[in-house]
Amino acid sequence: MIYAMLALIIILSLLIILMAPFPVVGFFIGAPYYPSNSRKVKKMIELADLRKGQTVADLGAGDGRVIYEASKKGVEAHCIEINPILTLYSRLKFRKIKNIKIINKNMWKVDLSSYDRIFLFCLSKEMKKFEKKLQMEMKPGSLVISNIFKFNKWIPVKAQDSIYVYKVTK
Ligand SMILES: C[S@@+](CC[C@H](N)C(=O)[O-])C[C@H]1O[C@@H](n2cnc3c(N)ncnc32)[C@H](O)[C@@H]1O
């Protein structure tokens, strides 16, 4: 009986590890993994108006596709991702790109004060809480580029193709 239970626990643990990149697990740890399509990624980068020397982050970076495109503009580009499998995948994929940093961390625990641009694609229920964190921590003039979801009170300075750009003012 004990061996059967142990075997079941091992099988379940393996299943969770293998399923980690997929929406079912993401659902329990925050926004599920649902990658932006290439048209959206291109548009987000265009709207972000990136300049060499800036530091940018994608909060909940998934497989790092937004950050990869951003890195081509000469910025210091950070993937912040809670899912260890997606983190490992990006680390392997981008290991030779010097200006990409992969950080396996809960985005709520990241200090955002050094970022000039933040990319977001998270659940609408989290946007209200995020509005406060971003406005409090980011420097004036920095931009937040949100795919699909809008903030509660903050008025976007640009909106195209369901992508909203917000400017921090203090
Ligand atoms: C909708 S996907 C977006 C992926 C990527 N930004 C894109 O546009 O393709 C959301 C990602 O956020 C990650 N995530 C959810 N909650 C998180 C948290 N608290 N901290 C860091 N990452 C988180 C999920 O694992 C998932 O990869």
Number of domains the chain is built from: 1
The CA 108 to ligand 1 mean position distance, Å, reads: 12
What pLDDT sits at residue 5?
Answer: 67
> pLDDT class for 123, splitting at 50, 70, 90?
confident
30 lines ligand 1 (CB under 6 A): yes
Full domain range(s) for residue 52: 2-167
CATH number at residue 76: 3.40.50.150
Average pLDDT, the chain: 89
The CA 25 to ligand 1 mean position distance, Å, reads: 11
**3-state SS track over the chain:** CHHHHHHHHHHHHHHHHHHCCCHHHHHHHCCCCCCCCHHHHHHHHHHHCCCCCCEEEEECCCCCHHHHHHHCCCCEEEEEECCHHHHHHHHHHCCCCCCEEEEECCHHHCCCCCCCEEEECCCHHHHHHHHHHHHHHCCCCCEEEEECCCCCCCCCCEEECCEEEEECCC
82 lines ligand 1 (CB under 6 A): yes
Task: Return d(Cα 71, Cα 77) in angstroms, integer.
Answer: 6
| 35 CA closest ligand 1 atom index | 9
pTM: 0.86
pLDDT of 4-55, one tens digit each?
666 655 555 555 555 554 545 555 556 789 999 999 999 999 999 999 999 9
What pLDDT sits at residue 11?
Answer: 55
